[in-house]
């Protein structure tokens, strides 16, 4: 099984950063997720109940990130990965968390993490 369900450029406002001024404002972070999921069952049944519901994943992450107050993008990325792995029965994910405009001259900075065990084909 090597199916992937993805969410691209999920933009969420949060409090993130190490500087005092960053702790007083909300900034946008952008999430990209690739999540391993066997899509054969939902493809056969055509039922949302059998899928990895990307809307539910997105809503859960939006609620969490909007309420979060972390200093490091690494910490926020790790907590988001824990939510997806633990609450949505995902065996593996790759998560990219970007902080647009954080460094002058760059489009974005951030981290990419992989967690869980990636299924083989």
Residue carrying the six token digits 């404002």: 25
- Beta 27-36 vs 4-16: how paired, if at all? antiparallel
First to last CA, the chain: 5
Q: Which residues lie across from 113 on neighbouring strands?
A: 95
Choice among 41, 55, 99, 107 that is catalytic = 99
Q: How many CB atoms lie within 10 A of CB 15?
A: 17
8 A C-beta contact, residue 39 and residue 96: no
24 is catalytic: no
Kindly list the catalytic residues: 99
């Amino acid at each position: 099984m090597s199916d992937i369900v993805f969410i691209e450029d999920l933009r969420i406002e949060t409090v993130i950063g190490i500087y005092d001024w960053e702790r007083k404002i909300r900034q946008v972070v952008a999430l990209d997720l690739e999540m391993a999921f066997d899509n054969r069952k939902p493809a056969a049944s055509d039922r949302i109940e059998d899928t990895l519901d990307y809307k539910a994943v997105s809503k859960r992450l939006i609620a969490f990130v909007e309420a979060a107050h972390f200093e490091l993008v690494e910490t926020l990325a790790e907590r988001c990965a824990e939510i997806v792995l633990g609450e949505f029965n995902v065996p593996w994910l790759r998560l990219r968390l970007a902080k647009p405009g954080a460094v002058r001259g760059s489009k974005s900075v951030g981290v990419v993490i992989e967690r869980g065990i990636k299924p083989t084909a």
